[in-house]
Amino acid sequence: MSASELAGDFRRTCRWFVGVVVRKQTYYSLLYLSLAFPLGLAYFVFLVAGGITSAALVVLLVGIPMLLTMQFVVIELTALERWLASSLLDAEIPTSAPPEDLRKRAWRLVFDLGPWRGLVFLFSRFFIGIGTFVVVVTGLSVTFTLVTAPLHYQNEQIGIHVLNPIEVVPEIAYQHDEWAVDVSSTITVAGGEVISNYADSLGDALVVSIVGVVVGIVVLHLFNGLAWLQARYAELLLRRTQPSVISELRSK
């Protein structure tokens, strides 16, 4: 490969890396990830409360209609998740053919795997949402704190705090026969407010801010990657699930 081709590849890579800031898909991904926790929490409360209540009322023959109603709601919520994944993440999630009549619809509520896979997906969204919430909040908070370092670098109450000192000792050893060479260096991050510890001037704070911009770009790529994984997960579990009943009625 020639030097000009290498330079071209490098420029394209740089444009791809920095271009994440202006791509619409980045913010669609961020929106999808931001919805994960509130929706997951709502699904979790609905499924747990509805499941426990229905199971408790089965002996009174009221729980069975409640379970069927829950399955119907699961189908609609699954349709909502398909729409979110398709609209925001360009996921391809085909649905199954709609039932021909009410009897087949009731049969499929119980014996079709689609609603049950949808139920597993909705239940798992709570746990996925917790992890997603931590990643999104941490990524945005760290980026914002670093980028705005020139505004608060003298304030030890604002910034990234390390509770205990962190010490890392990378070591490289080369050994041949009876002699060896060891190279090691200790890297220490003091406890306390990190930015105030290492940026005691406006110039240092500006350097931290530039680092924050780079960190922010990496964080946006991380968000896109996480959203891509969740899109594939949605395609895996929601493929061939039943279409929305409400949408069918509106189309008629």
What is the pTM (predicted TM-score) of this model?
Answer: 0.83
Degrees to nearest 5, angle at CA 59 with 58 and 65: 30
pLDDT single digits (tens) 228-251: 999 999 999 998 888 876 665 555
Residue 233 is assigned to a structural domain of this protein: yes
Please check whether residues 210 and 178 belong to one and the same domain. Answer: no
Helix axes 24-57, 63-89, angle to 10 degrees: 170
Please check whether residues 73 and 103 belong to one and the same domain. Answer: yes
User: Residue 208 belongs to what domain range?
Assistant: 19-153+200-251
Please check whether residues 89 and 146 belong to one and the same domain. Answer: yes
Whose tokens are 């026969």? That residue is 177
Please check whether residues 25 and 108 belong to one and the same domain. Answer: yes
220: closest CA among 21, 16, 12, 15?
21
Please check whether residues 48 and 165 belong to one and the same domain. Answer: no
Please check whether residues 110 and 48 belong to one and the same domain. Answer: yes
- The pLDDT assigned to 150 comes to 92
pLDDT single digits (tens) 191-201: 677 788 778 88
- The pLDDT assigned to 160 comes to 80
Please check whether residues 114 and 237 belong to one and the same domain. Answer: yes
CB distance 102 to 72 below 8 Å: no
Question: First-to-last CA distance in the chain?
Answer: 60
pLDDT single digits (tens) 68-119: 788 888 888 999 999 999 999 999 998 877 666 566 666 666 667 777 888 8
